[in-house]
Structure 1
Amino acid sequence: MAHITSKYAIIVAGGKGLRMGADIPKQFLPVGGKPVLMHTISRFHAYDKDLKVILVLPKTQQAYWQELCEQYHFDEDYQLADGGASRFQSCKNGISIIPTDAVGLVAIHDGVRPFVSCDTISRCFDTAETAKAVIPVLPVTDTLRFVGDSHSGRNVLRSDYKAVQTPQVFDIQLIKKAYEQEESADFTDDASVVERLGQVVTMVEGNRENIKITTPFDLKVAEVLLEL
């Protein structure tokens, strides 16, 4: 069977199911008139309308998501994968949908980062064609203090650190092999999973608007960003 060069995006949204009386998960909250997650999916299709999108959602949220899609007439193309008990398991489930012999690149992105720019997505994919593992980063602007076991801690050079964003883009066969490893507490993102194989991770410039919506304040910032 001939190998096909492919480009995928796995959008990971939420690790917990809807519980009666619980707040609506952040990826479903409306921003600018439609749920956050719809903005996120649309960003990747704006970058490449033929990009194959895999949406990873907990089973308990999938019926609600389908209701939202009907309500907002959201008909963009994607495949659905079941979320796992952890982000690692969710990513593994998304990756497993990609054909075993696929050749190409896959982006893994947080569902609650709806403002990633097409330029950032493009930089990640373009660089990954040769680098195989790419992450978008930004300079740290706040003063940082290392605490450890100390009560007072100590200042550290912020120039020694970068703030990491998504999408993180990888060679498909590399990320498939990486996710065959046992899950570890050391795996804080997808890049750390491939680094365990000895793979060097290349950094490219992210975009400042590419915030992760996790608080009510972030939602207010998101509304402002949509107006820019």
Structure 2
Amino acid sequence: MTNKAAILVAGGRGTRMGGPVAKQYLPVAGKPVLMRTLSVFYQVDPSIDLILVLPENDFSYWEELCAEYKFSIPHRLVAGGNSRFQSVRNGLNSLNFETKLVAVHDGVRPFVSQAVIEESFEVADLNGSAIAVISLKDSIRKLTDDGKSFYEERQYFRLVQTPQTFQVEKIKKAFAVTELQQFTDDATVYENQGWQVTLISGNADNIKITTPEDMDYAEYIAAKQMSDR
């Protein structure tokens, strides 16, 4: 049995997409988003323990989708919570005893590269954590409460992606606390223990599908990937 796991979090209702079906179930180039995401992790390591965190009421719908698309990649379903923090904690609580490393990933980021996933496990094994980030291309300004703004040096900032990969012992300890407002992602939960996170380079195509415009871009990325093969 592998000592690696990946928790794919997809507990949202997709309200910003504006349609009747949550974004994680919508097809991109003929395959639902979540199936694409699961497939990338499976291609990296077919023995990885894949955990998909969904709203419990969606379990039967997901199983119907798997049957419709003949999706057979092994994975386990775990019920999500009322927040991302609670959903991730539910996923962590479902891990096998043997699991030493776990990647936490947004289910609606189907274009994460295999190289990023591989590096995240390698770096987390050595340092405790590995957080995928990318550099900013645009200039940025900081807004103040009194309506003013100030220029900031963009080279000192990074955009945070997933996967965020950790040694299981540490991240479980980090999530054994009361949820706080400043927990915007798993890295902030980890840092709350006083531990410094380790950053790795993400990939620019690793977008988080949230809006209809994101779906259009996702179709473009999927088409480009197919043409590059």
- Does TM, scored on the shorter chain, surpass 0.5? yes
**Partner SS, residue 179 of structure 2:** coil
Q: Does the C-alpha gap of structure 1 residues 60 and 22 become closer, same or farther in structure 2, counting only changes over 3 Å?
A: farther
Q: Tell me the CA shift for residue 143 of structure 1.
A: 1.3
**Partner SS, residue 40 of structure 1:** helix
AA aligned opposite 1:94: G
Deviations 1:175-200 (A, max 9, x none): 11111010000101001101111111
AA aligned opposite 1:125: F
- Taking the aligned partners of 1:163 and 1:219, their CA distance within structure 2 comes to 20
- Taking the aligned partners of 2:167 and 2:108, their CA distance within structure 1 comes to 23
1:28 matched to 2:25? The reply is yes
Residue 162 (structure 1) aligns with = 158
- Taking the aligned partners of 1:177 and 1:90, their CA distance within structure 2 comes to 16
Q: Is the 8 A contact 1:106 1:171 kept in 2?
A: yes
Residue 86 (structure 1) aligns with = 83
Residue 95 (structure 1) aligns with = 92
RMSD across aligned positions (CA)? 1.7
Return the TM-score normalized by structure 2. 0.93
- Taking the aligned partners of 1:159 and 1:22, their CA distance within structure 2 comes to 38
Return the TM-score normalized by structure 1. 0.93
Equivalent pairs: percent with the same residue?
Answer: 45
Which sections of structure 2, spanning at least 5 residues, go unmatched?
225-229
- Residues 103-118 of structure 1: matches in 2 within 5 Å? 103-118=99-114
1:175 matched to 2:171? The reply is yes
- Residues 1-228 of structure 1: matches in 2 within 5 Å? 6-16=3-13, 23-99=20-96, 101-228=97-224
AA aligned opposite 1:133: S
AA aligned opposite 1:91: V
- Taking the aligned partners of 2:207 and 2:19, their CA distance within structure 1 comes to 24
Q: Is the 8 A contact 2:27 2:33 kept in 1?
A: yes
Q: Tell me the CA shift for residue 15 of structure 1.
A: 2.8
Q: Is the 8 A contact 1:146 1:156 kept in 2?
A: yes
Which sections of structure 1, spanning at least 5 residues, go unmatched?
none
Q: Is the 8 A contact 2:5 2:99 kept in 1?
A: no
Which segment is superposed worse, 58-67 or 8-17? 8-17
Deviations 1:13-52 (A, max 9, x none): 033499xx96211000110101100000000001111111
Q: Is the 8 A contact 2:2 2:49 kept in 1?
A: no
**How many residue pairs end up in the alignment?**
222
